[in-house]
Amino acid sequence: MIDDDVDDQKIFSIIAEEIDDSVTCTFASDGVDALEKLRSGSCSPDLIFLDVNMPRMDGIECLKRIKATKELDHIPVFMYSTTADPDTMRLTKQLGAREFIVKPSNIADLSAVLSTIFSKEKASHSVK
Amino acid sequence: MDIDLAIENENHLRLKNSLHSFLFEGKKDESLACRHYDCTLGKWLYTTGIFQYRHIPEVHSLERAHTELHTKLTDLATEKEKKDHEKCLEIYREIEKVSLRLSMLLQQLREAMKTTAPVDVKPAPVTNNDLPLEHQALCDFFMQAPGIFCVLKGPSHIFQLINPDYKELIGNRELKGKDIRTALPELEGQGVYELLDKVYQRKRTYTGREIPVYFNTGKGIPEKVYLNFIYKPILDSSDECSGILVFGYDVSGEVRLRKRSEESETRLKLAIDAAEIGTFEWNMNTREFICSEKLAKIYGYRKKARISYKEFTGAIHPGDKKLRIHAIEEALRTGVMFYEARITRPDGNIRWVKFSGKIVFDEKRNPCRMYGTALDVTDQKTLEERLEKKVKERTKELVLNNEMLIRQKELSESVINASMDNITVLDTKLRFVILNERALAAYKKRKEKLIGQPIHKVFPQVLKSGLYADLRKALRGEGMHDFNYRSFILKGYFEVFIFPLRDSNDKVYGVLLITHDNTPVVEASERLIAANKKLEEKNTVLEKNNRELASFRYIANHDLQEPLRKIQVFAGLVGKHIDRPERVKEYTENISHSARSMSDLVQAVLNYSRLSANEQSFTKVNLNALLKDLKKEFRPLIAAKSAKISCSRLLPVKGDPGQLKQLFTCLLSNSLKFSDKEPVITILSRVIFTDVRQSGNSGADKYLELVFKDNGIGFEQKYADQVFRMFRRLQTSRQYPGAGIGLAIVKKIVENHGGHIFVKSEPHAGTAFYIYLPVI
């Protein structure tokens, strides 16, 4: 999960753990940090959750870069942001993001969203 | 010779009757041609009468009358030949008188002869050249008597006696003893010799009247002389002719006079003829009316040569009879008659005749005769009438035309006076010709003062304003339209039209100047422009406000919803992990944190919104003192960060002390916050003159430049504008917390003070803020 907001990081990890304690979360605070981690290989996630508003390198830029990298472009990227701007949503979809998730206000919704994603991912993995 | 006078009387009366017939019926009578010495009475008189009865005065009167009668008869014949009717009548009248006299004398003589015995005197026959005493006496008489006398003797007419007058006539030549042919050779070819011969042979007296004869009077060329003369044969006792008595007198003067008079008369007659003037004579006593053929012609009588008085007056048109009577009455008073009247011709035609005449009065002032002329003036009259008619018609036409022109003039005057514009017409010398009412009112001068005066004399301002130049251009044919002309004469803004006026030959004869008062329009447009400017200014303000509003929306949307979301989530988590106290504690702290940041934000926003430029509350602010206070307030933080702050001497500025404090607080706070090493902050100032119109809004030229420099983390210069925008944070809020509103506040404060701010920065190289505040 790439987000500059530590609270959001905290929330995400709590919910994710609750859904499936086998899931591991790694965090980056901005695009630069994220790419560093991804390219170095210190992190090879199955899923990427990417915030849009971040300093140094925002989510759009980061998404582009990820999708440009051959080794990384196979990883499904989910945009995870407070903005609900339709243009941004369309753009990210165009750039290859799997989905655009607006950060919910209640945990039940977040829980529902994440569990759906995880189970889907797990299912596809088992096919492989 | 014996005679019966009574018979002679009858004879001569008979003569008169023959004359009458001859004159009025054209019956020719040879007896009329009888000469006075050829008729019986005449013969008797010259052989016996005047000698034997010379003591009876009647004989001599008779002889004269008798001669006169016969002479007149001959004259009449001549005049009749000439067809001179007036003359004929005149002579006839005279003949009547003479005849009457003759008749009387004959009777008287008859009576006298009864009582008086004839003088037994026989004329002594001239038998030889020597003359007896009686004849000498006669000769003396001849010499002294007036007239030319001479006595010729013999068949070759030898001059025996010549009187002095005769001698003088022929140039005092010696004629005595010479025969006529030798003595007066110049008479050759003039018939004189032959005449003398005839008289000698036939023993008949010859009377010549006004016979022209050429004599050598001694003046070189032969002179023409008119003579009345008698050649009388001198008979001896045996009744044979022995000589001729010549008696005559020079009538050249009378002849010439008469001829001249005749000539004038002829000319007059010709003139009258040519002028087609008819003449008439009206004898008021005898009621006799004589007129010329021309008059008859005028009256329309082609065949007649005469018209009667009845015809003359009768033809007058009934409508003009009164006029004629009036003219005649006038003439009887003044002697001059003049009138024009219509006459009706026998064929029915009506002619206009001009009558003019003169009345002759006798000694008693009674009118006796009227002489007049008549002229047919029908053509002139008709012409006159036609002309008069034409004149009347033309006058009517002209009057109508004039009325129409007047109406047109009135209409155009009304139109130009009704116009709301000033209409002026100038001539080729730019003198005022026409001004409408509006123009007069605008110029505020009297019409008399303007008309005829050149515009540049009355209003010299036009020379400066350019109007004069434009008017001159118009005289060359170039018109002008200036939509917005500032007039110095009328004080205001005008739309000006200048038209050159051209005549039918396309020549410029004047200039038409129309000015339309645009002042209200211009003033309105100026007001509009001013209003627009204000609106623009307001717009700018509104736009700024809008931007701020947008920012507010952003805040509402993001920076407030964010912490709110977090609070909700954490609250949910609290609920979920209510049985885990350490978790609850953690989550509630998170909630608090978010709540606080919300509160900070709201506070900062409220602060910002409260910032207004209230120039009225501006005072002189001592910046040095302000900073000193600030340093005191920040001492703990400064000490904690081991920051070093140095500032040069700052000049005072005019402003709001509170806001300026806030400004410096923000900057100081930022510099202390955004540093990764020991902060070194410097504040410098200097006075500069700059044109900061592009950003500042005070327009002042003298500024205090403040440079607030730090050695903090800096940022990329490309974000130099963005940093001043609300909530634009370039750093993560974790690392460098803050609402992100500080610099926005700083910028607003600077702008409130009419200043300008910009920033220079480089990552890791520190940041420098350049603030320009207007200096007092």
Q: Which residues does residue B767 pair with via DSSP β-bridges, in sequence order?
A: B710, B761
pLDDT tens digits along A55-67: 788 889 999 999 9
Comparing CA positions, the residue from B713, B773, B714, B715 lying closest to residue B746 is: B773
Residue B595 belongs to some domain of the structure: yes
Q: Is A33 on the interface with B (CB under 8 A)?
A: no
Q: Given pLDDT bands bounded at 50, 70 and 90, which one contains residue B734?
A: low
Rounded distance, CA B143 to CA B361, Å? 47
Mean pLDDT is lowest, of B133-147, B173-187, B255-269, B589-603, for B133-147
Answer yes or no: do B28 and B96 share one domain. Answer: yes
Contact list in B for residue A108 (CB cut-off 8 A) is 572
Supply angle C-alpha B212, B217, B222, rounded to 5: 55
Is residue B612 predicted with pLDDT exceeding 90? no
Say if the Cβ atoms of B566 and A7 lie within 8 Å.
Answer: yes
pLDDT at A112: 92
Rounded distance, CA B199 to CA B2, Å? 23
Q: Given pLDDT bands bounded at 50, 70 and 90, which one contains residue A48?
A: very high
| Domain end point (choices B575, B590, B610) | B610
Q: Could you give the 3-state DSSP secondary structure of residue B520?
A: helix
Q: Is A82 on the interface with B (CB under 8 A)?
A: yes
Rounded distance, CA B257 to CA B14, Å? 35
Q: Given pLDDT bands bounded at 50, 70 and 90, which one contains residue B210?
A: confident
Q: Given pLDDT bands bounded at 50, 70 and 90, which one contains residue B737?
A: low
Is residue B694 predicted with pLDDT exceeding 60? no
Q: Could you give the 3-state DSSP secondary structure of residue B759?
A: strand
Q: Is A19 on the interface with B (CB under 8 A)?
A: no
Q: Is A106 on the interface with B (CB under 8 A)?
A: yes
Q: Which CATH class is domain A6-127?
A: alpha beta
Is residue B127 predicted with pLDDT exceeding 80? no
Provide mean pLDDT across the span B284-313.
Answer: 87
Q: Given pLDDT bands bounded at 50, 70 and 90, which one contains residue B681?
A: very high
Token duo for residue B371: 């002489």
Say if the Cβ atoms of A55 and B565 lie within 8 Å.
Answer: no
Q: Are B279 and B292 in contact (CB under 8 A)?
A: yes
Answer yes or no: do B533 and B509 share one domain. Answer: no
Residue B268 belongs to some domain of the structure: no
Rounded distance, CA A116 to CA A123, Å? 11
B734/chain A closest Cα distance in angstroms: 7
Answer yes or no: do B421 and B362 share one domain. Answer: no
Answer yes or no: do B549 and B619 share one domain. Answer: no
- Residue B213 has a CB neighbour count (10 Å cut-off) of 20
Say if the Cβ atoms of B569 and A82 lie within 8 Å.
Answer: no
Q: Given pLDDT bands bounded at 50, 70 and 90, which one contains residue B257?
A: confident
Domain ranges in chain A are: 6-127
Say if the Cβ atoms of B561 and A103 lie within 8 Å.
Answer: no
pTM here is 0.40
Instruction: Please count the structural domains in chain B.
Output: 6
pLDDT tens digits along B649-662: 888 888 888 888 88
Q: Given pLDDT bands bounded at 50, 70 and 90, which one contains residue A76?
A: very high
pLDDT tens digits along B76-101: 877 777 777 888 888 888 888 888 88
Q: Provide the H-helix boundaries in B419-490.
A: 437-443, 447-450, 455-458, 461-465, 467-475
Token duo for residue B614: 């209230």
What H or E segment, with its residue span, contains residue A60? helix A59-68
**% of chain A exceeding 70 in pLDDT:** 99
Q: Given pLDDT bands bounded at 50, 70 and 90, which one contains residue B128?
A: low
Q: Is A89 on the interface with B (CB under 8 A)?
A: no
Residue B404 belongs to some domain of the structure: no
Between B289 and B121, residue with greater pLDDT:
B289
Say if the Cβ atoms of A55 and B730 lie within 8 Å.
Answer: yes
Q: Is A75 on the interface with B (CB under 8 A)?
A: no
Interface test with A, best of B558, B564, B565 (most A CBs within 10 A): B565
Mark residue B185 as left, alpha or beta (left: phi above 0; alpha: psi -120 to 50; beta: remaining): alpha
What does DSSP say about strands B702-710 and B680-689: parallel, antiparallel, or unpaired? antiparallel
- Residue B225 has a CB neighbour count (10 Å cut-off) of 19
| Domain end point (choices B458, B493, B514) | B514
pLDDT at B726: 64
Provide mean pLDDT across the span B34-58.
Answer: 82
pLDDT at B611: 77
Provide mean pLDDT across the span B313-320.
Answer: 90
Is residue B347 predicted with pLDDT exceeding 80? yes
Answer yes or no: do B605 and B617 share one domain. Answer: no
Residue B486 belongs to some domain of the structure: yes
Answer yes or no: do B486 and B593 share one domain. Answer: no
Is residue A78 predicted with pLDDT exceeding 90? yes
Q: Are B9 and B65 in contact (CB under 8 A)?
A: no
Provide mean pLDDT across the span B730-750.
Answer: 73
Q: Given pLDDT bands bounded at 50, 70 and 90, which one contains residue B25?
A: confident
Between A43 and B554, residue with greater pLDDT:
A43
Q: Are B171 and B210 in contact (CB under 8 A)?
A: no
Is residue B699 predicted with pLDDT exceeding 70? no
- Its ipTM equals 0.90
Answer yes or no: do B148 and B244 share one domain. Answer: yes
Token duo for residue B119: 């003088």
Backbone dihedral angles phi then psi of residue B444, each to the nearest 5 degrees: 60, 40
Is residue B770 predicted with pLDDT exceeding 90? yes
Mean pLDDT is lowest, of B169-173, B448-452, B545-549, for B545-549
Contact list in B for residue A101 (CB cut-off 8 A) is none
Say if the Cβ atoms of A4 and B729 lie within 8 Å.
Answer: no
Q: Are B671 and B646 in contact (CB under 8 A)?
A: no
Rounded distance, CA B399 to CA B724, Å? 92
A12 to chain B: nearest residue by CA?
B569
pLDDT at B430: 92
Query: What interhelical angle do B5-25 and B85-115 show, nearest 10?
Result: 170
Q: What is the CA radius of gyration of chain A?
A: 14
Q: Is A111 on the interface with B (CB under 8 A)?
A: no
Residue B254 belongs to some domain of the structure: yes
Q: Compare CB distances from B734 to A6, A82, A108 and report the shortest one's residue.
A: A6
Provide mean pLDDT across the span B464-468.
Answer: 85
Answer yes or no: do B667 and B749 share one domain. Answer: yes
CATH number at residue B454: 3.30.450.20
What H or E segment, with its residue span, contains residue B631? helix B623-633
Provide mean pLDDT across the span B117-128.
Answer: 59
Q: Compare CB distances from B576 to A5, A104, A107 and report the shortest one's residue.
A: A107
pLDDT tens digits along B393-408: 999 999 999 999 999 9
Is residue B130 predicted with pLDDT exceeding 80? no
pLDDT at B372: 92
| Domain end point (choices B514, B541, B566) | B514
pLDDT at A31: 87
A85 to chain B: nearest residue by CA?
B557
Provide mean pLDDT across the span B123-152.
Answer: 69
Q: Are B705 and B692 in contact (CB under 8 A)?
A: no
Q: Given pLDDT bands bounded at 50, 70 and 90, which one contains residue B131?
A: low
Residue with tokens 């409220």: B606
Burial class (CB in 10 A: 0-12, 13-18, 19+), B25: exposed
Answer yes or no: do B634 and B738 share one domain. Answer: yes
pLDDT tens digits along B331-340: 988 989 999 9
**% of chain B exceeding 90 in pLDDT:** 20
Q: Given pLDDT bands bounded at 50, 70 and 90, which one contains residue B493?
A: confident
pLDDT at B586: 92
Answer yes or no: do B346 and B294 share one domain. Answer: yes
Query: What interhelical angle do A59-68 and A86-95 show, nearest 10?
Result: 10
Interface test with B, best of A3, A9, A10, A81 (most B CBs within 10 A): A10
Is residue B123 predicted with pLDDT exceeding 70? no
Q: Are B422 and B498 in contact (CB under 8 A)?
A: no
State which residues form the domain around B83. 5-115
pLDDT at A3: 92
User: What are the distances in angstroms from CA B675 to CA B473, B644, B726, B727, B735?
Assistant: 77, 12, 21, 19, 11
pLDDT tens digits along B754-763: 888 999 999 8
Residue with tokens 């001239």: B126
List CB contacts of B773: < 8 A, sequence separation 6 or more. Answer: B653, B655, B703, B704, B706, B750, B753, B754, B755
Mean pLDDT is lowest, of A58-62, B112-116, B295-299, for B112-116
A29 to chain B: nearest residue by CA?
B732
Backbone dihedral angles phi then psi of residue B374, each to the nearest 5 degrees: -135, 140
Q: Which residues does residue B495 pair with via DSSP β-bridges, in sequence order?
A: B516
Residue B552 belongs to some domain of the structure: yes
pLDDT tens digits along A90-115: 999 999 999 999 998 888 999 999 99
User: What are the distances in angstroms from CA B534 to CA B519, B605, B754?
Assistant: 22, 28, 18
Mean predicted lDDT score pLDDT of chain A = 89
- Residue B329 has a CB neighbour count (10 Å cut-off) of 11
pLDDT at B120: 64
Residue with tokens 């759009």: A60
Answer yes or no: do B632 and B724 share one domain. Answer: yes
Answer yes or no: do B447 and B471 share one domain. Answer: yes
